[in-house]
Amino acid sequence: MTHPGEITRRQLLRRIGITAFAAGPGAGLLAACATAGTGGGNEPAPAPSATLPASADPKNPFGVDPRKPLEVVIFSGGYGDAYAKDLHEELYKKEFPGVTVKHTATQEIGTQLRPRLIGGDAPDVINNSGPKSMDLAALAAEGHLADLAPLFDAPSIDDPAKKVRDTVTPAVLDNALVTGKDLVLNYTVSHRALWYNARLFADKGWKVPATWEEFTALGETAKGEGILLFAYPGQKGPYYQLWNVLYTAAKIGGNQVILDIDNLVDNAWNAEPMKRAVTVWADIQTKYGDKAYFGLDHTQTQVKQLQNKVLFYPVGSWIENEMAKDKPDDFEYAIAPIPEVTGSDKMPYGAIQVGVGENFVVAAKGKNPQGGLEYLRIMLSKEGARRFTELTKNVTVVNGAAEGVDLPAGLRSAARAQDAAGQNIITEARFEGWYKELFDYGTEQINVVMAGRITPDEFCARMQKKADAVKKDESVTKQTRSR
């Protein structure tokens, strides 16, 4: 089934330019096709930003002062920070010999940087990621984000005859938009679904469940062997389960479910597919989960899965690199689509969510926004992207940059799953970045409903009430999307 705004698998292959990751059927497709809105609503406050001179030097299109220091702050999560410190920053210093680059790695992005931005001491490049990321819409409204249009219109490092915008998957440009302006660079391709140990399934002779009946039947079998069918982290990662519920709702009712939630459509959270999704997952938690996991963070939960105490875990394809040091030899990450829930889901079995992520922004009020734009241009070079993939085992948005890279089993599995999904791609929810207050509230409430303290109907009603409040709040910049 084709949904409005989606592109064909052939177009995806052509646009992403990745055709030979690894041997084997289906291993050639890792394109990002999540889409974003067209912007709208109130415009953010004017933000000072670097602009391309009329006669731009393709080697220095932003007019970077080679002596001016650059400050980069990286979220040290699943990708670590070595890719920035040892790769991208070194490439920047190679381009501008003698320049000083200050590097900071943290898991407290919002806690550490929000006061600095307010106080006029912004770093130049910010990897705005993780559970404490900053509200992009608020930053845009306050004029803290530099315009990235000059970056996308700049000559590519690899081929000055091409603009940067012509070297990346189109989802980058869709997702760059905040209130209609290009303000965010999403750097990685991610696949969010249910992840499991393919080696364990092979050893047990278990089949990956395609229907909800098969899913629950496997839950009974696993319970008999002391294994949980499913778990998610109640601390520092409950949004994994919020994503899982949202994408299950889209599986049931189609991508319009997500579009309506993002567009703050009246009663979007009370839609039947949303209620059904919350209900089935709350039931799974009750029958096949363990409340002790509400006290665990994402790393602790992921270690439990590596110990084969949990079968399915709702997360993205970054997990393989995140757990590389802890993963035993007999554990092989693989991706499983959400099983068919109703028997008449609008999206067939095999539909998965594929999107772009890992936000990078340039501070408009930083000391060196021109250097910040050049740093991102270096990241979007084939060398910067290919070596990132080699270091992190995750694919970037740069077309063709991962060709020939030896990818791990989990990413090959994701490629095969996306290949099988074809046009049936679950779109990425955007309200996480647009209305962070709503997303954070959902992250809290998902624990409440999964723990059985409220009913699924009450969860949906609470979320709708919060969405209504955001919609009525004139201080919140509203955004819309059509695909």
pLDDT of residue 175: 87
Structure token digits, residue 27: 């291993």
Q: What is the DSSP string of 259-290?
A: HHHHTT-TTSTTSHHHHHHHHHHHHHHHHH--
The answer to whether residue 177 sits within a structural domain is yes
Q: Determine the Cα–Cα distance for residues 70 and 335; give it in Å rounded to an integer.
A: 39
User: In angstroms, what CA-CA distances link 443 with 285, 434, 439, 440?
Assistant: 16, 15, 6, 5
pLDDT of residue 3: 36
The answer to whether residue 299 sits within a structural domain is yes
Q: Would you give per-residue pLDDT tens digits along the chain (483 residues)? A: 333 333 333 333 333 333 333 333 233 333 333 333 333 333 333 344 445 554 468 899 999 999 999 999 999 998 999 999 999 999 999 999 999 999 999 999 999 999 999 999 999 999 999 888 999 989 999 999 999 999 999 999 999 999 999 999 877 888 898 888 999 999 998 899 999 999 999 999 999 999 999 999 999 999 999 999 999 999 999 999 999 999 999 999 999 999 999 999 999 999 999 999 999 999 999 999 999 999 999 999 999 999 999 999 999 998 998 999 999 999 999 999 999 999 999 999 999 998 888 999 999 999 999 999 999 999 999 999 999 999 998 889 998 888 888 889 998 999 889 878 888 989 999 999 899 999 999 999 999 999 999 999 999 999 999 999 999 999 998 999 988
Kindly state whether residues 387 and 305 are assigned to the same domain.
no
- Per the structure, the complete domain to which residue 323 belongs is given by 192-353+430-472
DSSP 56: -
Q: What type of residue is 43?
A: E
Kindly state whether residues 374 and 460 are assigned to the same domain.
no
The answer to whether residue 425 sits within a structural domain is no
pLDDT of residue 415: 82
pLDDT of residue 57: 85
Q: What are phi and psi of 176, to 5 degrees?
A: -75, -20
Kindly state whether residues 296 and 437 are assigned to the same domain.
yes
Kindly state whether residues 242 and 385 are assigned to the same domain.
no
CATH of the domain at 84: 3.40.190.10
The answer to whether residue 44 sits within a structural domain is yes
Q: Determine the Cα–Cα distance for residues 389 and 79; give it in Å rounded to an integer.
A: 10
C-alpha distance across the termini of the chain, in Å: 15
476: number of CA atoms within 13 Å, CB side?
20
Kindly state whether residues 301 and 337 are assigned to the same domain.
yes
Kindly state whether residues 206 and 343 are assigned to the same domain.
yes
Kindly state whether residues 264 and 378 are assigned to the same domain.
no
Q: What is the 3-state secondary structure (H, E, C) of 445-479?
A: HHHHHHCCCCCHHHHHHHHHHHHHHHHHCCCCCCC
pLDDT of residue 394: 85
The answer to whether residue 10 sits within a structural domain is no
Kindly state whether residues 151 and 292 are assigned to the same domain.
no
Kindly state whether residues 166 and 252 are assigned to the same domain.
no
The answer to whether residue 154 sits within a structural domain is yes
- The answer to whether the beta carbons of residues 381 and 168 sit under 8 Å apart is no
- The answer to whether the beta carbons of residues 437 and 421 sit under 8 Å apart is no
Kindly state whether residues 332 and 460 are assigned to the same domain.
yes
Kindly state whether residues 164 and 76 are assigned to the same domain.
yes
Roughly what angle, to the nearest 10 degrees, separates helices 212-224 and 272-288?
Answer: 20
Kindly state whether residues 220 and 331 are assigned to the same domain.
yes
Among left, alpha and beta (phi > 0; psi -120 to 50; other), residue 84 is alpha
The answer to whether residue 364 sits within a structural domain is yes
Q: Determine the Cα–Cα distance for residues 10 and 6; give it in Å rounded to an integer.
A: 12
Give the number of domains in the chain: 2
The answer to whether residue 293 sits within a structural domain is yes
Q: What residues form DSSP beta bridges with 312? A: 230
